[in-house]
Amino acid sequence: MKYIEFGPQKDKVSVIGVGCMRISQMSEPEAEAFVETSLDAGINFFDHADIYGRGASERVFGRLFADKPSLRDKMFLQSKCAIHDGMYDFSGDYILKSVDGILERLNTDHIDSLLLHRPDALMEPDEVGEAFDKLKASGKVRSFGVSNENRFQMELLQSGLSDAIAANQIQMSIVHCPTIDAGINVNMMNDPGVMRDGGTIEYCRLKKIAVQCWSPLQKGFFGGVFLGSEEYPKLNELLSAIAAEKNTSVDAVAYAWLLRIPAKMQVITGTTKPSRILEAAKATEIVLSKKEWYDLYKAAGKQLP
């Protein structure tokens, strides 16, 4: 497993993170296997959100910690808040209330990272900063970040914060990577050349912000996986060929494509199957050449100008 330094404390976190969105119905033995498999593979990063299973996913971990409290010290816990009642809410009181709920459900006295879940158009940076300062001073949250934000939204938010933004979680895969497309097609009169995010990847590289890729195997906004999809025959053929050559799985190659980007990259998996978590961990053993990276990009239907 490979690790990056995360947040102001420079915590050592795995570049493969385990997403917990789909674990709300897990039994305790299943949850324990899910966690133990991840930890045994060197994965110490677990990603939650207060809306996952309407809080039930966090409660799964809370029950696990009640029975095995030693597990908590082995992992880096991240959760997210801001989505409720059909809106995005960065108000200070709501952030503070949300964290209290997260901690209660997780049965822990702190989380290692809190992300604001999607941008709030009515955000007040100073108000957010005040809430973050209270959470850090109380020991409830150790580092802070965002999700699905562009460069200027992060810059605006940062103006009210005491600590630097630690992470930005964005949707990204070989097939869905508009932030990469725009960088490759600069100054071109085509759709990929439209910069929709203001240079998020480049900004995160400059500011040493971790880029957390969610839906790393999806072909669109929860549009299904591209692995084995008839829509992407060339991509799947090349993924299979590279996987066979490197004696690994197509999943691992798809994850390795994201990790090859020279930023603080993390891949957040969505699987609940221990066998696929182990396959994801193998992605850190693969280093794609530039040619392999570009060949996969083009096989996904992308064109170089």
* Three-class DSSP labels, the chain: CCEEEECCCCEEEECEEEECCCCCCCCHHHHHHHHHHHHHCCCCEEECCCCHHHHHHHHHHHHHHHHCHHHHHHCEEEEEECEECCEECCCHHHHHHHHHHHHHHHCCCCECEEEECCCCCCCCHHHHHHHHHHHHHCCCECCEEEECCCHHHHHHHHCCCCCCCCEEEEECCCCCCHHHHHHHCCCCCCHHHCCCCCCHHHHHHHHCCEEEEECCCECCCCCCECCCCCCCHHHHHHHHHHHHHCCCCHHHHHHHHHHCCCCCEEEEECCCCHHHHHHHHHHHHCCCCHHHHHHHHHHCCCCCC
Tens digit of pLDDT for each residue in 160-174?
999 999 999 999 999
pLDDT for 222: 78
Tell if the pTM clears 0.85, that is, is over it.
yes
Tens digit of pLDDT for each residue in 198-237?
899 999 999 999 999 999 999 988 789 999 999 999 999 9
Catalytic residue among 3, 52, 232, 297: 52
Tens digit of pLDDT for each residue in 127-157?
999 999 999 999 999 999 999 999 999 999 9
pLDDT for 249: 96
Segment 275-297 shows an average pLDDT of 97
* For residue 275, pLDDT beyond 90: yes
pLDDT for 197: 87
pLDDT for 195: 87
**52 catalytic residue (yes or no):** yes
Domains of the chain: 3-299 (3.20.20.100)
pLDDT for 293: 98
